[in-house]
Amino acid sequence: VQLQASGGGLVQAGDSLRLSCAASGRTFSRHVMGWFRQAPGKEREFVATINWSGDSTYYADSVKGRFTISRNNAKNTVYLQMNSLKPEDTAVYYCAAGTIMLLTRRNVNYWGQGTQVTVSS
């Protein structure tokens, strides 16, 4: 599975952005998909994950209620809708694929390249 993330940019606090991650490969629909982020000087951290069918999601406490992860298996794409963005959301965002719902940095099987999200105050 190869992953290509897009949709990052520079926004103001309170704005919204939608990230997309397009996957190649016929096994996309069998994978748990997720998003991680890494701010300068910090470790990569979990943001959200979604199961293969899209009916189960899990979020980091820091984004719960503001971010929504979804997927379209027909388009081999996973999305991250980010609302009410805060300066502390500034980071490089990475999409990821694995087989375990509770994705961590250590059990991700495939990483996409990052997309920069910058939120100004």
What proportion of the chain, given as a percentage, has pLDDT over 70? 100
DSSP string, 32-83: EEEEEEE-TTS--EEEEEE-TTSS-EEE-TTTTTTEEEEEETTTTEEEEEE-
Q: Which of 94, 121, 86 is closest to 110 using CA atoms?
A: 94
* Residue 119 confidence (pLDDT) above 90: yes
**Sequence letter at residue 101:** M
**pLDDT tens-digit profile of 29-65?**
789 999 999 999 999 999 999 999 999 999 999 999 9
- What average pLDDT does range 14-21 have in this prediction? 98
pLDDT of residue 114: 94
> What backbone phi and psi angles, to 5 degrees, belong to 107?
-110, 10
Q: Which of 120, 93, 115 is closest to 34 using CA atoms?
A: 93
**pLDDT tens-digit profile of 87-101?**
999 999 999 999 988
pLDDT of residue 29: 79
